[in-house]
Chains A and B, each alone.
Chain A
C-alpha cells in the first residue's frame, strides 16, 4: 500500500488531464472562441487553444502533485476543520503596541513628506480600511453576509451632499448624522430579514444595494441623477482650506499664519480620517471583548445553542448590522468630501464586492488582516493600472480560492484564554 501510494500513477493523471481538456473545450470553446460582433461574429481559435492548454497543463500538474508525498500532506491539511483561532496563554503581552506606535509615527510624518498623489491614495486606502472594519463586524464577527454594504456608504456620501444642499449641513455635522442615518437604514432593512434564516439577508442586501443605486440614478430632481451632486469642502472651526475663503472669511493658512499649501484640504481629511480609523479600531478591539462581541461570535458559530442559552438573536445580529452600517456611513462622508462630488457610479455592486474581498482576504474577524488587506487591494491596483480589467476576475478567484484554502483568512485570530490540551481535558 505504502509503496504503491508513493509512486505516481501517470495513466490516471493523463486521463484526468484529457477529461479536463475536453471539458475546457466545451466550456471555453464557444464563449472564448466566437466573439459576437453585431449579428455577425469573429473566430478566435488561438484563444481557445491557449485556454484549453492552460487548463490541461494545470490539471496535469495538480494531479501529479497530489499523488506525491508532499501533495498528500498538502491535501490532508484541507480535512482539518479547526476553528482557526489560536489561544494564547493568560498574561500574554502582544508586540502589537510597538507596531501601533510605529504606525502612528509614520502616519504623523506622512503629510510632511508625501505629495498630493500619495496623500490621495492613502486617504482612499484609509476609507477602505474603515469600510473593511465595518463589514468585518457584520461578516466576520456576526457571520451575516451583507452584499449591499455599499448602500450604507452611499447613504453617508449622499447624506452629506443632500444635507449641504437642503439643510446647510457641513462636514462635521454630517459625520454623526450620516452614522445615525445609515444605522437607521440598516435597522429598517435588517429587522424583518434578520428574523429569518441567515442566507436571506445576503440576497436582500444585494437587492437593497442595487435599489439605492437605481433610486439615486433615477430620482434626478433630488439627487441630480447620473450627473451627481457637489459636496462642500470640509472646514476646520469654520476656517476654509482654499487660497481665498468664500464670503469674505479668513482661510485656514492666513489664520494660523502658515504658508498656503494646496494640499491642505487633503492633509486635513487625512488627519481626521486617521483619527477616526484609530478610534474605530479601538472600539472594535473593545467590542470583541465585551459580552456583545462575544455574543456575535457565539451566534455565528451556533445559533440554536445561543438561543437556547437565552440570547436574543435578532437584537444581537441587528446591533452588529447597525454598527457596521454606521461605519460605512462615516466612510461615505469622508469619501464625498475627498472627491468633492458624488454620483451613483461610485456605489455599484463592484464596490461591495471589493469590500467583501478585503474582509475575506484579511480574515474574518481579524482586525490587522483587514487593515493590511484594505491597503493591498486598494493601493496595488493603483500601481498596476494595466491590469485594471482583470481586477474583478482576480477578486472572484480570490474569494473562491480563499474559501477553499483558508476560509478564516490569511492572518490567524488570536485570543487570550486557557487552551484545552490536545486530546481533550484531563
Chain B
C-alpha cells in the first residue's frame, strides 16, 4: 500500500460518491418509466451554474460565514433545480407517456440540447468558476509518503452520504417512498389502488433533480470550474455507474458510483489520465456484455 494508491483511493471515493448522487436520478427514472433521461447530465450542469450564482449573490448580500453560505447555497440550488426537473418532465416527457418507445428518448435529447444552448447563450461559452470555500487539508503521514485530504473532500463525502441516507429514508420509510416503490413495481396496479402515478413520476424527476443539484454544489466546490458542456461527460459516467450497480436499483446506483469513481482515479494515476473517460466508457460496454443486470440488479424478464 503506497501513498499514491491511498491518495487516489480518497480522490476516487469523493468523486464516486458524487457520481452515485447523479446516478440515482438515472436509476429512479429508469425504474419507474423505463426511460433513460438524457437530460439528467444537463440538470447537473444547470445546478453547477445555479450554485455559483447563489454563492455570488449571497456573498453580495454580505453573507460570509462558511456554514451559512454553504447551507444557503445548497437550499436555494436544490430548490431551483427541482423546479427545473419538474418543468422538464411536465413539458417534454408527460405528453409522450403513451407515444412510441423512441419519442421520449428523442425528446430528452432535444431538452439536453436546449439546456446546453440556453446556458451558453445566457452565461457565455467561457469557463466559469467559484473561489475556494473551505481552505486547508488534513495530512496523514505514512512510512514513505503522506496522504492529503482536503477539508472540501471530507465535506463532500459527509454531504453526499447524508444525502443518500436521507433519500434511503424517504424511499424506505415515508408515504411518498411507498408510492414510488408501488409505481415502480406495477404502474397500472398502483393507479388502481388510488395512487396518482403521474404525480409520482413527477416526484421522481424532482428527487432526481435534487440529488443532481446536491452533486452540482459539491463538484463545483471541489473543482471550482465548470462550463456549459460539463453535463455531457458526467452524465455518461453517472449512467455507467447506474448500469454498473444495476439500473433500477437505488443502493446499486450508490455502490456503482463509488466503484466507478475509485476505478477511474486508480486508472488515471496508474495508466493514463488522458484516457480516463475512454476507460469509463469501455467499462460500460464490458458490463453490458458480461453482466447487463449490473451488480445488484435482477435480470429483467419480459412478459407479454
Contact surface of A with B, Cβ cutoff 8 Å: 23, 26-27, 30-32, 34-36, 38-41, 47, 78, 81, 139, 143, 145, 147, 189, 192-193, 195-200, 202-204, 206-208, 210-211, 214-215, 218, 304, 349, 353, 356, 360, 364, 389-390, 392-393, 395-400, 402-404, 407
Q: How far is the CA of A47 from the CA of B56 in the complex (A)?
A: 19
Query: Is B103 interfacial (CB 8 A cutoff)?
Result: yes
Show 23 A/B contacts (Cβ-Cβ < 8 Å), sorted by A.
A31-B46, A31-B49, A36-B52, A38-B129, A39-B131, A78-B95, A143-B102, A202-B38, A204-B285, A207-B281, A349-B232, A356-B109, A364-B102, A392-B117, A393-B121, A396-B109, A396-B117, A399-B107, A400-B110, A403-B106, A407-B96, A407-B99, A407-B100
- Are A145 and B117 neighbours in the complex by a CB distance under 8 Å? no
| A34-B98 in contact given A353-B109, A360-B106, A400-B110 (Cβ < 8 Å) | no
Q: How far is the CA of A392 from the CA of B122 in the complex (A)?
A: 14
| A400-B114 in contact given A23-B87, A34-B57, A207-B236 (Cβ < 8 Å) | yes
A7 to chain B, nearest CB (A): 26
B251 to chain A, nearest CB (A): 21
Q: Which residues of chain A come closer than 8 Å to B171, judged between CB atoms?
A: none
Q: Which residues of chain A come closer than 8 Å to B60, judged between CB atoms?
A: 41
Q: Which residues of chain B come closer than 8 Å to A389, judged between CB atoms?
A: 121
B126-144 residues at the A interface, CB under 8 angstroms: 128-131
Query: Is B113 interfacial (CB 8 A cutoff)?
Result: yes
Query: Is B119 interfacial (CB 8 A cutoff)?
Result: yes
Nearest A residue to B229 via CB reads A349
A19 to chain B, nearest CB (A): 11
| A396-B111 in contact given A202-B36, A207-B284, A304-B302 (Cβ < 8 Å) | yes
Q: How far is the CA of A251 from the CA of B232 in the complex (A)?
A: 48
Q: How far is the CA of A202 from the CA of B101 in the complex (A)?
A: 12
Contact surface of B with A, Cβ cutoff 8 Å: 34-36, 38, 46, 49-50, 52-54, 56-57, 60, 80, 83-84, 87, 91-92, 95-96, 98-107, 109-124, 128-131, 232-233, 236, 239-240, 243, 274-275, 277-278, 281, 284-285, 288-289, 292, 300, 302, 304
Q: Which of B56, B236, B292 meets A203, CB within 8 Å?
A: B236
The 6 A-B pairs at the shortest CB distance, nearest first, are namely A399-B110, A396-B113, A396-B114, A400-B110, A393-B117, A392-B117
B111 to chain A, nearest CB (A): 6
Nearest A residue to B112 via CB reads A396
Nearest A residue to B113 via CB reads A396
Q: Which residues of chain B come closer than 8 Å to A41, judged between CB atoms?
A: 53, 56-57, 60
Q: Which residues of chain B come closer than 8 Å to A78, judged between CB atoms?
A: 95
If over half of A's interface residues share one DSSP class (helix, strand or loop), that class is named, otherwise mixed; here it is helix
- Are A215 and B80 neighbours in the complex by a CB distance under 8 Å? no
Q: How far is the CA of A393 from the CA of B112 in the complex (A)?
A: 10
Having A23-B83, A30-B53, A30-B57, one finds 10 other A-B pairs with CB under 8 Å, namely A27-B84, A34-B53, A78-B95, A192-B288, A198-B101, A202-B38, A204-B284, A393-B113, A399-B113, A407-B99
Q: Which residues of chain B come closer than 8 Å to A39, judged between CB atoms?
A: 56, 129-131
- Are B277 and A400 neighbours in the complex by a CB distance under 8 Å? no
Q: How far is the CA of A200 from the CA of B34 in the complex (A)?
A: 11
- Are B288 and A193 neighbours in the complex by a CB distance under 8 Å? yes
B225 to chain A, nearest CB (A): 11
| A210-B96 in contact given A23-B83, A27-B87 (Cβ < 8 Å) | no
Q: Which of A192, A206, A364 meets B285, CB within 8 Å?
A: A192
Q: Which of B80, B123, B284 meets A26, CB within 8 Å?
A: B80
- Are B56 and A34 neighbours in the complex by a CB distance under 8 Å? yes
- Are A395 and B110 neighbours in the complex by a CB distance under 8 Å? yes
Q: Which residues of chain B come closer than 8 Å to A30, judged between CB atoms?
A: 50, 53-54, 57, 80
Q: Which of B83, B106, B109 meets A27, CB within 8 Å?
A: B83
Q: Which residues of chain A come closer than 8 Å to B99, judged between CB atoms?
A: 81, 403, 407
- Are A390 and B117 neighbours in the complex by a CB distance under 8 Å? yes
Q: Which residues of chain A come closer than 8 Å to B302, judged between CB atoms?
A: 304
| A145-B239 in contact given A26-B83, A31-B49, A207-B281 (Cβ < 8 Å) | no
A357 to chain B, nearest CB (A): 9
- Are B292 and A196 neighbours in the complex by a CB distance under 8 Å? yes
Q: Which residues of chain B come closer than 8 Å to A395, judged between CB atoms?
A: 110, 113
- Are B113 and A392 neighbours in the complex by a CB distance under 8 Å? yes
- Are A218 and B274 neighbours in the complex by a CB distance under 8 Å? yes
- Are A36 and B277 neighbours in the complex by a CB distance under 8 Å? no
- Are A399 and B106 neighbours in the complex by a CB distance under 8 Å? yes
Q: Which of A47, A196, A203, A396 meets B122, CB within 8 Å?
A: A47
| A392-B106 in contact given A35-B122, A207-B236, A404-B96 (Cβ < 8 Å) | no
- Are B124 and A199 neighbours in the complex by a CB distance under 8 Å? no
- Are B281 and A400 neighbours in the complex by a CB distance under 8 Å? no
- Are A199 and B122 neighbours in the complex by a CB distance under 8 Å? no
- Are A145 and B113 neighbours in the complex by a CB distance under 8 Å? no
Q: Which residues of chain A come closer than 8 Å to B103, judged between CB atoms?
A: 403, 407
Q: Which residues of chain B come closer than 8 Å to A393, judged between CB atoms?
A: 113-114, 117-118, 121
| A211-B278 in contact given A199-B35, A393-B121, A407-B99 (Cβ < 8 Å) | yes
Q: How far is the CA of A155 from the CA of B303 in the complex (A)?
A: 39
Q: How far is the CA of A393 from the CA of B110 in the complex (A)?
A: 8
Nearest A residue to B277 via CB reads A214
A210 to chain B, nearest CB (A): 7
- Are B114 and A36 neighbours in the complex by a CB distance under 8 Å? no
B26 to chain A, nearest CB (A): 9
Q: Which of B107, B130, B274, B288 meets A196, CB within 8 Å?
A: B288
B41 to chain A, nearest CB (A): 10
- Are A147 and B101 neighbours in the complex by a CB distance under 8 Å? no
- Are A81 and B98 neighbours in the complex by a CB distance under 8 Å? yes
Q: Which residues of chain A come closer than 8 Å to B109, judged between CB atoms?
A: 147, 353, 356, 396, 399
Q: Which residues of chain A come closer than 8 Å to B105, judged between CB atoms?
A: 145, 199, 202
Q: Which residues of chain B come closer than 8 Å to A204, judged between CB atoms?
A: 284-285, 288
Q: How far is the CA of A266 from the CA of B42 in the complex (A)?
A: 40
Nearest A residue to B242 via CB reads A203
Q: Which residues of chain B come closer than 8 Å to A192, judged between CB atoms?
A: 285, 288-289
- Are B288 and A200 neighbours in the complex by a CB distance under 8 Å? yes
- Are B106 and A145 neighbours in the complex by a CB distance under 8 Å? yes
Q: How far is the CA of A191 from the CA of B119 in the complex (A)?
A: 37
